[in-house]
Structure 1
Amino acid sequence: MICNAEEPMCIAGVFGGLDSGVTEETTSVFLESAYFNPTSVRKTARRHGLNTDASFRYERGTDPNATVYCIKLAALMIKELAGGEICGDIIDLYPEVIKPFPVKLDYGYFNALVGKAIPAETIDSIAASLEMEITGHEDNAVTLLVPTYRVDVQRPCDVVEDVLRIYGYNNVEFSSELHSSLSFKTMTDSSNDLRELISNQLSATGFNEILNNSLTAESYYEGLTDEHSAPVKLLNPLSNDLNVMRMSLLFGGLEVIEHNVNRRDGDLMLYEFGKVYQCDTTVESTAENPIAPYKEWEHLGLWLTGNIRTGNWARPEEKATIYDLKAIVANILARLGISEREIELKKTDDKLYSAALSINTRSGKSLGVMGIVSKSMLKRCGVKQEVFFAELDWNAIVKLSIKKKVTFSPLPKTQAVKRDLALLLDKAVTMAQVEKVVRDSEKRLLREVTLFDVYEGKNLEEGKKSYAITMMFQDDEKT
């Protein structure tokens, strides 16, 4: 704060006070020219939500040694333009003098960073023309004193950028060959490769990729949070429609669907890779880890609505179903090397869906959820037609996929054998349970399990249903 003897007058470098302003009745003006710490000014401006012309300039750094010159210039301009009279002496309070920034620049480092050998004389000449004082040379390096008004030039790489700006980026030629090697892949590299792979697969099957804002409306998540999860709120939101970070990809896709349906395009297949965010309200921030309550994940969202195939003279139109979405998810997992044997599908209760299946590994690790979006969620975005949605935990899927190794095996020369089985079951029994029993019973020869008929109704007991499945067996060595 800047204060007089009795009370505060303004926030230093950010905001002026009501009583320290100039009006039409003002006859005497007290001039102050100051330098404020950029970090302190930026923190203060963000904390109070004040973005002023003063904070804009001070938080980017000003010349600490120009204050006396500036106050003299201001006084002279007032005298010239307003007919004022200068009275009183200049009082300069400068507790710790800020000196020019010393920087040692190695010529080898300069050339390695630029990618071209530039003569030392040229580097020195440009640096000197930029008012950097050369104080000496030693060990193929030059020592410079950067003037205090260049607050953005305090490191060797900053000097390289400044000199190269004058030298000309277009004067750094590219060689005709590029030699590079990557000794290992990080998780990010693997994730990007797999992301491109699945993007190509989805686009090739008729999907369109969308990219939505990570900021969304808090109203979307009313009734969806609990004591352990809440949306990450913005301290200074631009509007109530963009005041939290998204917890799910669903609502961004529904907004896209609503936009397109209103323009007579209701047959949509969409996908999006994006991050979701969450605040765990049971965890508190600490000095060591201020972001402890906050988490973010990479997700893959898939939306199906309307017709999956348009009608024509040769065949009728075909509406999208939850089974189409299930097949698409299965194809994604298969393309990433995650076999059906490793996956379990279970019915789950989720407020986003009227009916949903959770996708888990055999060990219980969650990979995502898919289902039919509930009408209450559709209503929040103004969508009036049925939408099928899957949200996959991309980080978990990548961790599972990169462990897989692609191995070659020749095509079998033997014939496969198929056997059909008709089963009378309780209605509560799912195909996933049947398939698990079959696969656990024969792990070496069994290749496929397919459901080809379901019957309920006449001639069956109440609460019963009939499943007909085909099992394919094959031995690579003999029939």
Structure 2
Amino acid sequence: MLISLDWLKQYVDIKEDIKELENTLTMIGQEVEAIEEQGKELAKVVIGQITEYGKHPEAEKLTLLKVNIGEEEELQIVCGAPNHKLGDKVVVATIGAVLPGDFKIKKSKIRGVESQGMLCSEVELGLGNDGDGIIILPEDAPLGVEYRVYKKLNDVIFELEITPNRPDCLSYIGIAREIAAYYGRKIKCPEFESKKIIESINTGHIDVRIEDKERCKRFSGKVIKNIKVQESPEWLKNRLISMGLKPINNVVDATNYILFECNQPLHAYDLTKINDRKIIVRKSLNGEKIVTLDGVERELNKGELIIADAEKPLGIAGIMGGESSKVTEETTEIFLECAYFTPENIRKTSKELGLSSDSSYRFERGLDIENTAEVLERAADLISQLTGGEVLEGCIDKYIEKYEKIEIPLNIEKLRKFMGKNIEIDVVGKILTNLGINIKTLNSTTIIATPPSYRGDLTRTADLYEEIIRMYGFDNIENKMPEENIRPGVKDSMTVVVDEAKEILAKLGLQEVINYSFISKDAIKMLGITEPTLEITNPISDDMAVMRPTLIYSLLSNVRDNLNRNQNGLRFFEVSRVFTPKEDGLANETLRTSIALAGKTFKTLWDPKPEAMDFYTLKGFVEKFLEYMGVTRYQLDRSEDNNFHPGRSADIRIGKVKIGTFGEIHPELAENMDIKRERAYVAELDLTTLLNYRAKKVKYERIVKYPEVTRDLAVVLDRDVLVGKMLEDIKKSSNLIESVAIFDVYQGEKIEADKKSVAISIVLRKKDGTLEESDINITVDKILKLIAKNYNGEIRQ
């Protein structure tokens, strides 16, 4: 929002300098983003008069002039412009002036004759496009006065960042209210009295009907006759230019002026162009078209709120008027509209049409519904003055939904506690009154505040706290710690688990990745997920259309992107939530842990040929993670998940409950994911379910002082026997067995084709004494019988 200091002074007395005013505006919540001091480049540019006129002795097209700038000594100036004569009042850039473009005026010689300044054109001063001749001023232009002062080009423009909850500050009166409230001054609202004629507006001049009462809550209008549309006066054009607008004509410029003055959009219709003199506020018909004031034809297909006459649309309500009824130089009578349209409707329509304006910007944020009739009178008076028009007696005012005042209680003791300041009730009352808030005392500690209609952001006690504090001044509140016992917060149990899981995985040498919780519908098809998923109603993009039911796709995407960038030895993990739909339409959230590996182990000086990571590398990470998480009782079964390679993947189960799957991804999935250079291995564990099986207590076992005994067995088994289950059974068969591990698997010519030889190392130890040979033999025999009976195995000969 741009604010001209010169214009602002019309509504409130401002004695402060620019820096102090900037600080004040910022501290009361109207942040100053930038300040432009206009006319800086026009210093030492003054008004002069040509007192002597002659030709340059060495150049026919140049003139040699004497120019009086109100000082004792006249200036000798050489000029090349063709449009000046003796006695003209002109604009003189004196020696030392620095014009736009860093053009410095110096004493110089032109064709051998000294020149002590320069007569200026609009282009040279950066004020226009006319560079054919110098500026010729009226005869009454004051001699010696700076040109920027004479043309009021020495204004200061503040650029303010107005927050969305304060649409009332998108106007000069709104900002003036804020300054007046802070300094305890009075607002100088414009006085007006239109030139009215006896004829009433209700005598058939215009008929207004509101069909869409949900989106148009108030519609006010006046008729002005016998107007003369022409160029606006200089003061009005300067005001609009300071706001970055291009002047059009006196009627349109007046409505724009009132928009910035009062924060109320208006629109003027050529009354003769309104069919049957009927104004209808309705929703658009499907396929209805309108050419808006920007010259673009727009098709309306979504029931947009429009202003129409008996035959056609005249404008898109609250956003932009139409070409068909615009005010031109031929216009002699107008219908002036001032309305209230609901913010939600304007936001939606503006977005759908891709059309925004100063009016829609304000309607979107919510305006003062109580103010339309008063603003209409002010605008009619201004247009009447500018055009010589006559305003018909009365006003059409269709007020559908009346504004209801709200009362907000304010307890002074609670306010003091909140502020940390013993503020007096009289000071609070004065601050609220200065802000236009009506107050009444309920008792010695409580008052009732009633905000004005233009402060729609004030709805609760906390809002009043904010108003009081910002007007009291943040600098007036000392830094003071609250006198309350503040206990440190306690982490949520699941947060503790997540932090623990992340710490374990990071210490295992994995790198954490953080992905979005959304994936594409194509990803769901690629993973072959047939269960219901949670789709986003209005996704940011097609790649973020579904809440992910698994972490696998995200991690594989990370693997692919890193491999494509020549990164190797990838070791990723992610701990996050996955989502599935509930019957009530909400999300069921489950915590998962996922690991992804690809590429080779890291090269070292003593190991220059790193090996590729494989299923067993991943298995090691998974087993260590489970161990550190306190889950030790589980079994591995061959996985049948279609996303994993058959025979190179396993499900992790505790009893009949599956808590995760890990292994090499299926070649088809790798191809679909465009992972070509390396094999990728992924694990995904249900952390929420896994927590139910953690060891609640960690038991300490004293180190056994008795020696261990190792026995190695080579057992011949059928090729399809899963050795992992056999190892578990062996471990459980005797309390003397400390550990069981495979150290070799052989398949080849020396055994049958459908067999394999598995070499097992068994560590035996007695906790309360040294093992006897008989104990060892009994245990080994028991193991061999178990293998023979349950797995059809025998000792390799």
Contact 2:598 2:680 in 1 (8 A): yes
The amino acid across from 1:31 in the alignment is: E
Q: Is the CA contact 1:305–1:387 (under 8 Å) kept in the aligned structure 2?
A: yes
Q: Which amino acid aligns with 1:2?
A: D
- Alignment partners' CA distance in 1, 2:574 and 2:430: 52
Equivalent of residue 395 in structure 2, options 78, 81, 89: 89
1:98 and 2:404 are equivalent in the alignment = yes
Q: Is 1:437 matched up with 2:740?
A: no
Counterpart residue identity of residue 9, structure 1: S
Aligned in 2, Cα 1:415/1:80: closer, same or farther, shift over 3 Å?
Answer: farther
Relative distance call for 1:470 and 1:55 in structure 2 (3 A) is farther
> What whole-Å deviation, never above 9, does each CA across 1:348-399 have from its counterpart, x for those lacking one?
22232224322222241x3222121223333334321211111222322344
Task: Structure 2: state its 5+ residue gaps.
Answer: 1-210, 214-278, 286-299, 307-311, 316-320, 327-333, 771-797
- State the aligned residue count: 452
1:400-435 CA-partner distances (Å, limit 9, x unpaired): 44xx43445253243363443443322222233113
Q: Does 1:278 align with 2:580?
A: yes
Superposed, which structure 2 residues align to 1:9-88 within 5 Å?
9=284, 15-17=304-306, 19-21=313-315, 22-27=321-326, 31=337, 33-34=339-340, 36=342, 45=348, 62-69=367-374
User: Partners in 1 of 2:555 and 2:390 — Cα distance?
Assistant: 66
How far, CA to CA, are the matches of 2:445 and 2:578 in structure 1?
A: 50
User: What root-mean-square deviation, in Å, do the aligned CA atoms of Structure 1 and Structure 2 show?
Assistant: 4.2
**Counterparts of residues 146-185 of structure 1 (less than 5 Å):** 146-164=451-469, 167-168=473-474, 171-174=478-481, 179-180=486-487
CA contact (8 A) 1:35 1:63 kept: no
Q: Verify: 1:263 aligned to 2:539, yes or no.
A: no
Contact 1:414–1:475 (Cα < 8 Å) also in 2: no
Are the equivalent residues in 1 in contact too, given 2:745–2:759 (CA < 8 A)?
Answer: yes
The aligned residue for residue 352 of structure 1 is 643
Match of 2:499 in 1: 196
- In structure 2, give the amino acid aligned to 1:34: Y
CA 464–243 in structure 1, closer or farther in 2 if over 3 Å, else same: same
- Equivalent residue runs for 1:372-411 within 5 Å: 372-384=664-676, 385-401=678-694, 404-407=695-698, 409=700, 411=702
Does residue 634 of structure 2 align to residue 335 of structure 1? no
- The one-letter code sitting in structure 1 at the alignment partner of 2:325 is T
> Which of the numbers 215, 219, 227 marks the counterpart of 2:522?
219
**Cα 1:51–1:316 shift into 2, 3 Å:** same
| Identical-pair percentage | 22
Separation in 1, partners of 2:517, 2:557: 13
- The answer to whether the Cα contact below 8 Å between 1:14 and 1:55 also exists between their aligned partners in 2 is no
Shift of 1:26: 1.0
Check conservation: 2:570, 2:598, Cα contact below 8 A.
yes
Q: 1:228 and 2:552 equivalent?
A: no
Please tell me whether the aligned partners of residues 456 and 465 of structure 1 are also in contact (alpha carbons under 8 angstroms).
yes
TM-score where L is the length of structure 1:
0.77
Secondary structure, aligned partner of 2:502? helix
Conserved 8 A contact 1:14-1:52 = no
Using the alignment, how far apart are the partners of 1:202 and 1:81 within structure 2?
A: 77
Aligned to 1:247: 549
1:72-96, Cα deviation, whole Å (9 max, x unpaired): 5676787789999866623142445
Instruction: State the TM-score, normalizing by the size of structure 2.
Output: 0.49
Worse overlay, 168-177 or 217-226: 168-177
Whether the aligned pair in 2 keeps the contact of 1:372 and 1:389 (CA below 8 Å) is yes
Residue 286 of structure 1: aligned partner: none
Whether the 8 Å contact between 2:526 and 2:672 is mirrored in structure 1 is no
> Greater shift after overlay, 295-304 or 71-80?
71-80
Structure 2 CA distance, aligned partners of 1:83 and 1:393?
A: 80
Asked whether the 8 Å contact 1:257–1:266 carries over to 2, the reply is no
Is it true that 1:460 corresponds to 2:751 in the alignment?
Answer: yes
Gaps of 5+ in 1: 284-288
Residue in structure 1 matched with residue 512 of structure 2 by the alignment? 209
Q: Is the 8 A contact 2:521 2:546 kept in 1?
A: yes
Cα distance in 2, alignment partners of residues 391 and 233 from structure 1? 22
- Partner Cα distance (1:158, 1:242) in 2: 37
Q: Given that residues 526 and 669 in structure 2 are in contact (C-alpha distance below 8 angstroms), is that contact kept between their aligned partners in structure 1?
A: no
* Residue deviations 1:31-73 (CA, integer Å, cap 9, x gap): 35225386xx59x959x97897699876765544344456556
- Partner secondary structure for residue 2 of structure 1: coil
Name the SS of the counterpart of 2:523 in structure 1.
helix
| Alpha carbons of structure 1 residues 279 and 464: separation in structure 2 relative to 1, 3 Å | same
Q: Partner of 2:758: helix, strand, or coil?
A: strand
1:95-140 deviation per Cα after TM superposition (whole angstroms, max 9, x unaligned): 45311x33334455556666x4554546666555554444225485
Is 1:451 matched with 2:745? no
Task: Kindly provide the CA deviation profile for residues 205-252 of structure 1, in whole angstroms up to 9, marking residues without a partner as x.
Answer: 33222222223322222254565324x333333333333332322232
The answer as to whether partners of 1:64 and 1:98 remain within 8 angstroms in 2 is no
Aligned in 2, Cα 1:91/1:266: closer, same or farther, shift over 3 Å? Answer: same
* Secondary structure of 1:238's aligned partner: coil
Distance 1:80 1:214 in 2: 62
1:363 and 1:6, CA in 2 relative to 1: closer, same or farther beyond 3 A?
A: same
Give the Å deviation of 1:329.
Answer: 1.5
Amino acid at match of 2:404: I
Deviation of 1:305 after TM superposition, in Å, equals 0.8
SS of the residue 2:313 aligns to: coil
Q: Give the structure with the larger strand fraction.
A: 2
Partner of 1:144: 449
Q: Would you say the 8 A contact 1:454–1:466 is kept in 2?
A: yes
Distance change (3 Å), C-alpha of 1:29 and 1:65? same
Distance 1:456 1:9, change over 3 A: same
Residue 327 of structure 1, CA deviation = 1.3
Describe the SS at the equivalent of 1:211: coil
Distance change in 2, residues 1:73/1:335 (3 Å): farther
Name which of 607, 612, 615 aligns with 1:319.
612
Match in the other structure for 2:158: none
Deviation, structure 1 residue 8:
3.1
Please tell me whether the aligned partners of residues 33 and 70 of structure 1 are also in contact (alpha carbons under 8 angstroms): no
Moved more, 173-182 or 157-166: 173-182
Assess if the C-alpha contact under 8 Å between 2:284 and 2:303 holds in 1: no
Which protein is bigger by CA-based radius of gyration? 2
Is this contact kept in 1: 2:212–2:281, CA < 8 A? no
Amino acid at match of 2:399: L
> For the structure 1 residues 105 and 23, does the alpha-carbon distance in structure 2 shift closer, same or farther, using more than 3 Å as the test?
closer
Contact 1:220 1:251 in 2 (8 A): yes
The secondary structure found in structure 1 opposite 2:407 is: strand
Q: Kindly tell me: are residues 313 and 333 of structure 1, through their superposed partners in 2, closer, same or farther at Cα, counting changes over 3 Å?
A: closer
Give the corresponding residue for 2:331.
none
271 and 62 in structure 1: CA distance in 2 versus 1, 3 angstrom threshold? farther
CA drift of 1:29 comes to 5.5
> Is the 8 Å Cα contact of residues 594 and 683 (structure 2) preserved in structure 1?
yes
1:2 pairs with one of 180, 201, 212 = 212
Matched-pair contact (CA < 8 Å) for 1:9–1:20:
no
Q: How does 1:104-119 map to 2 (within 5 A)?
A: 104-107=409-412, 109-110=414-415, 116=420, 118-119=422-423
The answer to whether the 8 Å contact 1:214/1:276 transfers is: yes
Distance (Å, rounded) in 2 between the aligned partners of 1:438 and 1:20: 89
SS at match of 2:749: coil
